[in-house]
Structure 1
Amino acid sequence: MRAVVQRAFGGPDVLELREGPVPEIAADEVLVQVRAAGVDRGVWHTMTGLPYLGRLAFGLRRPRNPVPGMDLAGVVVAVGARATRFAVGDEVFGCGRSTFAEYAAAGEQSLAYKPAALTFVQAAAVPVSAVTALKAVHDAGRVAEGRRVLILGASGGVGSYAVQLAKAAGAHVTAVCSGAKRDYVLSLGADRALDYAAEDFADGRESYDLVLDIGGNPSVARLRRALTGSGTAVIVGGEGGGRFSGGLHRQFAALALSPFIPQKLTTLLALVRSDSLERLLPLIDAGAIVPSIDRTFTLGEAAQALDYLESGRVRGKIVLTP
């Protein structure tokens, strides 16, 4: 089969398309013929090996999994001896192992049936980003009707879902993005858009019940200034902070401070499981959240896809197809 392979950490040029064996599956896994694979920020981190602290998870000197990728949508072509949820021929979406390939192994607990309303490309754009947004907006943020929500990084993969989820819950949403993407985030349902280059979300003019910081780098103090006295800030990912810890230093600082103040400062690690995917299905079926696809690339164009992701021009998600 064809797969995108990286033998070392580095920029997009470390990615190359190679022929390799079809992966073997464990007893509780299924083999999926990948029709589409989503590209998320986590893939960029595993490709570059940055921040260095992350190498404890994805390999110290070289990638533990030479084929990157987590998101997938496709068709089950083989079933492990103890796998019972899916059968050969089922159309599924979720997370697998090394999904930038024509075939990928996936645990049953990380998959759900593909919504009939979505194409494979659309479905592949859902798992990591939409589940992260779901857990940030609902589980950590406890959004409710009438709440004022501020979303930093609203035009990206997670942000585009966060805007839609917060609006579906009845919140008033202010989206922070570049001026060039203002119309885009408003089209997702945001009530107001702030250009981060020209407007300061923490200038004291507005306060918010919930601030979602998705891939940003403002200080914890600035996030607090944007909150109401009892508001909640959820830090999702984050950039900056140097090559060793990246944005993790802000998350550690927020968690350390939160017990001593009336505001709630928290973070999350969103694992994609079938129950979380299934929570999204009614919203997808109702059209309350719609995957927003910026561009698709082929497997052979994986390097260009990651280069485009890093450019900052992406609106929503990008997806690889065989």
Structure 2
Amino acid sequence: MKAIVQERFGPPDVLRTADIAAPEIGAGQVLVRVRAAAVNPYDWHMLRGDPYVARLMGGVGLTRPKSRVAGIDAAGEVAAVGAGVHGLRVGDEVLGFCKGAFAEYARTTPDLLVPKPAGLTFKEAAAVPMAAVTALRGIRTVGRVEAGHRVLVNGAGGGVGTFAVQIAAALDAEVTGVCGTRNVDLVRSLGAAHVVDHTREDFTDRGERYDVILDNVGNRPPGRLRRALAPHGILVANGGGSPGRLFGAVGSMLRIVAVDAVVRQRLRPILPAVPDGPVHQDLLAVTALVAAGRLTPVVDRTYPLADTAAGVRHVEGGHARGKTVITVSATTGSDSPGSP
């Protein structure tokens, strides 16, 4: 099969296309024929092996990548199921977490997959797993957003942000989105009642207070963010794209925890949703919102599998509007919604 592989840590240029054997599955495992895969900030962190502290924690690999094939978000069809797998059959259209998603086939487990909503193309479906589940956890689980809450989403035009605005709006919150000029109309169309163009003003200087702030950018210290937070509000800090080769998100998350210990407001760090814990119910929750018409993936750009490095470079550069997706294999139905 065709796959995007990396033999060492480095920039996107270390990625190359190779012919490798398709993964073998065992009992309790599923083989997915990948139709599309999304690019996340998580991917370029894994690609570069940073922050360095993550290498010591064992999740990335110490001197070379732990996973030869990158990618984690996928949508496609079940190609094979192992013994003991129930509820999935060959040919089922699915989305979810598949390590090694930048390939024609990827191996995963049934608890990391859910049915693809019929109204989504494979490209749209691939955009859902990590970003939508991270947004759901930030807004609903950690932020505890309820109807009538004033919610601010910083980085509202990005992958997590576009989902977060819609999820907060679906909960009947009053949403303010912070984004760049080119994304103002997009963020408003997703359900934001108010939009702040960060190139024109700083939302922390506006004198507005919010019940919940979801910060996807990490470009302001906790002290400034707290100026825009209600006295008993919740700041949810998403560290997925935090810079810093030594500590990265770990350092920023520790600062958030330290400040939380001495203030009345609640400061809660979150990391991107990766399949290291239960995600099945969250995947079902976001796809239910999609099926109900309350959540729509925003796909910025698509790249063919051979150009995966360019897609990763685009996301790493901070240029993505919504999600960036890699098209892996053509469908018999020209990727039309619900096509077999």
TM-score, structure 1 length as denominator?
Answer: 0.96
Preserved contact between residue 204 and residue 225 of structure 1 (Cα < 8 Å): no
User: For residues 37-92 of structure 1, what are the alpha-carbon distances to aligned partners after superposition, in whole Å with 9 as ceiling and x for unaligned?
Assistant: 11111001111112112223111111100100011111111111122231111111
- The one-letter code matched in structure 1 to 2:27 is A
Letter of the aligned partner of 2:73 in structure 1?
D
Amino acid of the structure 1 residue aligned with 2:78: V
> What is the 5 A alignment of 1:125-164?
125-164=127-166
Alpha-carbon distance in 1 for matches of 2:78, 2:241: 36
1:311 pairs with 2:302: no
> Contact between 2:35 and 2:327, CA under 8 Å: does it hold in 1?
yes
Cα drift, residue 204 of structure 1: 5.1
Aligned 8 A contact 1:94 1:110 in 2: yes
**What is the CA–CA distance in structure 2 between the aligned matches of 1:186 and 1:14, rounded to whole Å?**
38
- 1:253-272 equivalences under 5 Å are 253-269=255-271, 270-272=273-275
The Cα shift of 1:183 comes to 1.7
Letter aligned with residue 181 of structure 1: N
The Cα shift of 1:259 comes to 3.6
In structure 2, the partner of 1:29 is 29
- Any unmatched runs of 5+ in structure 1? none
For residue 307 of structure 1, give the secondary structure of its aligned residue in structure 2.
helix
**One-letter amino acid of the counterpart of residue 82, structure 2:** G
Which of 74, 82, 85 is the equivalent residue of 2:84? 82
Q: Quick check: 1:153–1:216 contact (8 Å CA) kept in 2?
A: no
- Give how far 1:238 is off: 5.0
Q: Deviations over 1:248-282 (max 9, x none)?
A: 22211222332432211101243452211111222
- Between stretches 249-258 and 121-130, larger displacement belongs to 249-258
Instruction: Work out which of the residue numbers 167, 175, 178 in structure 2 matches 1:176.
Output: 178
- Between the two proteins, the alignment pairs up a number of residues equal to 322
Q: Mean Cα displacement is larger for which, 153-162 or 174-183?
A: 174-183
Query: What residue in structure 1 maps to residue 299 of structure 2?
Result: 293
Structure 2: give runs of 5+ residues left out of the alignment.
329-340
Query: How far did 1:312 drift?
Result: 2.4
- The TM-score with structure 2 as length reference comes to 0.91
The percent identity for this pair of structures is 45
Output the CA distance in 2 between the equivalents of 1:224 and 1:25: 49
- Residues 283, 289 of structure 1: 8 Å contact kept: yes
Corresponding residue number in structure 2 for 1:231: 233
How many angstroms does 1:308 deviate by? 1.4
CA contact (8 A) 1:217 1:239 kept: no
Contact 2:242/2:252 (CA < 8 Å) preserved in 1?
Answer: no
Q: Which residue identity lines up with residue 322 of structure 2 in the other structure?
A: G
The CA RMSD measured in Å over matched residues stands at 1.4
Shift of 1:240: 5.1
Structure 1 CA distance for aligned equivalents of residues 251 and 206 of structure 2: 25
Aligned-partner residue type, residue 296 of structure 2: V
Whole-angstrom CA distance in 1 between matches of 2:217 and 2:202: 17
- C-alpha deviation, 1:122, in angstroms: 0.8
Specify the alignment match of 2:208 in structure 1. 206
Q: 2:69 aligns with which of 62, 67, 70?
A: 67
